[in-house]
Structure 1
Amino acid sequence: MIRPAVALFLLAPLVGEYLLGNTPVTDVGSLFLFAPMYGGGALLIREVARRTGRGWAAIVPFAAAYALLEEGPIDMMLWNPAYGGFDIAAAYAETYVPPLGTSVQMLQDVLTMHTVWSICVPIAVVEAFCRDRTQPWLGKVGLPVVAVVFVVGSAALCAMQIASTGFVASAGQLGWSFAAVAGLVVLGFWLGRRPVPLRDGVAPAPAVVGVAAFGVTSLVWCREFLPDWISQRVVAAGWCLLVAAAVALVFRWCRSAGWGARHRLALAAGAMVTYVWVGWQHARDMDIPRTTALLGNIGFAIAVAVLLLAAFNRASADRI
C-alpha cells in the first residue's frame, strides 16, 4: 500500500502550506522541507489509529495533539511574539493568558488549522481512494522509517527556527504543551476504543454535508472581516460555540443510517474548498507577489476540483 502512503505524505504539506497560501507555488523545494513533518505526522497518526483498530474518534484528538506539537515545541509560534516577522503579540493581545504564554485565539487558530486541514482533510481524501480504509499502509519497516523521518524533519525545522529568530520557549511553556499533547493522545486512545451507538434517523445527502462543512469552516476564517469594535473575547467564545455545535452535529450524523465514505469525503471536501478562497487572502497577507498568488490560487483550485471529483468517483457508500 505504498501509493496511498506516498500520496498522504505529499498531500498533507500541499494542503497545510501551499493551499493555505503560506508558501507560494513557485517555492517547490520547500515541499521536501515540510513533508517530513506534515506528511510524516499525518501518516503516523493514521497508521497508529488503524493499526490499533481505532477510527476518527482517535484520529481527531491525535490531529489536535499534532497541532500543538507543531506550533509549540517544533516552531514555537505559540509563544514567539514576532513569529514570521509579524507582530503576533499585538494581534492576539486581547485574549492573552500569561500562565500559558500565549492567547486563547492563537490556540484556537492552531487547533483549527492543523487538526482539520493539515491532518484530517488529507487523510480523509486519500482514504476515499482505498476500498478498505481500515487497512494499514505501512509495513514493519515502513512505520519506523516514517517515524524517524518525522522526528528528524521536525527537529531540523525547529533548529532552523531557533537559528533564524533566536527565540526559545521557556521550560514552563514547553512543559504544558508536552503535557497537553500527551493528554490528547491518551484521549484519542480512550475515545477510539469506545463503541459508537447508532441512532434512529437517516444521514443527510453528501451534498448537504459538504455545504455544511464549507459553511462552518468558512465562518471560522471570517473572523478577520469582523468590525474592530467587536471584542475578541466574544469572538473566541463564538469559536467555542461554533466548534461544539459542529462536532455535535457530525457526531449525530455519523451515527445515522446511510452514513458512509461519500459523507466522510464530503466533510473533507467542504473544508478543502474553504482553503481555496482563504489561500488567496492569506497569500496577500504573506506578501507573496499578486501575480504569483493569483496563478497559484487558480492552479490549486483546479487541482482541488480534479482531486475531489476523482475521489468522489472512487468512493462509495458501501465501502468500509
Structure 2
Amino acid sequence: MKLENKPTSITIQNFTTESGAFYASLNLSFQVFGRALHTAPLVLVNHALTGNSQVIGENGWWNDLIGENKTINTADYTVLAFNIPGNGFDGCVIEKHLNFNARDIARIFIEGIQFLKIKQLYAIIGGSVGGGIAWEMTALEPKITQHLIAIATDWKATDWLIANCFLQEQILHNSSRPIEDARIHAMLCYRTPESFAAKFQRSTHQELAIFNVESWLLHHGKKLQKRFQLSSYKMMNQLLKTIDITRNSNSFDALAAKIEADIHIIGINSDLFFTASENEATYEQLKKLKNKVTYQEIVSIHGHDAFLIEYKQLDNLLKDIF
C-alpha cells in the first residue's frame, strides 16, 4: 500500500482560459495517498487558499481527517490531491492571475483526471475555495463523482465575499508588506469575535508591550510570508472571488438538476466568509430539484476555520459516507 508520494506533474497542453488567455502548456502537479490508483474507490481532495497537495504526512494539513483508521481511511481509499496551478507548492507560479477564474481550475482538474484514466470518483471533498472548485467540477461534468462534499463553501461568491477579496487584492497590490498584511486581514474573516475573546481575553504580551491578539496576527502574517509567494496569494484570491457555476451559463436550477452526485453541504454556524444562511438557502433550493442532498452544520465559535479545527464534529458528519 502506497501511503504517500512526492508531487508528480502532468503537462496540460493548449489550454485557453475563459477570459481567452492561451497557454501552450500548464503544469498540474498532484500527490496520491493510500491505495494505488485504480485499486480502490478514489477521493479527490481540493485544497483551500494557502493549502496544497500535501493532505497527510509531515506538514499534512488534513492529517486528523485522512489517514490510517481516520474518517477517510487510506487503507480503504485512494486519495488524490492536485495543486491548484500557481499555488507555488510545486515551484510553478502564474503571474497573470486575472487570466484565470475558478472554473478554469475545475477544467484543468478534469483534464488531470482524464489523463490519469479515472472514469469516476467516489467523492470530491473540498473546503472554502477548494469546495467552490468542487462545485464547478460537478457542474461541468455531472457524472464525475458519486458524492460532492462541499465544506464551508458555496456554488458562488457572494457580494460580501467579493468585497473581502477586493480588499485582499488592494492590500496585495499596495502594501509594503503585502502577504503579511493581507494575512492579518484574512484571519479576521476566518475567525470570529467570540473565538478571539475565548483565546486572548484582552491579555497582553509583556515583552512586546502589545495585545496578544496583535502578536498572534503578526505571527500568522510572518509565518505565511516565509512559505507563500505574492503571485500565489493573488492567484488564489482571484479564484475565491470568481466561484460561480452559473457564469455565462444556465440558471442554478438547470445546472444543479443535472448533477448526478449525492450532494452533502456542510456549513459552519459561525462562518463569516461563507455564511450558514447562504448554505441553507442553497440546500433549500437543491431540495426542490434533487432527493439526494443533505445539509449539516459544524457548531463552533471559530468561524470559517472550524473545518480545520473541529475534527470530531467533521468525523461525525462524514463517517456515514466513508
After TM superposition, the score normalised by the length of structure 2 is 0.28
Higher strand share: 2
Per residue, is there more helix in 1 or in 2? 1
If asked which structure has higher relative contact order (CA below 8 Å, sep 6+), I would say 1
The alignment's TM-score, normalised by the length of structure 1, stands at 0.28
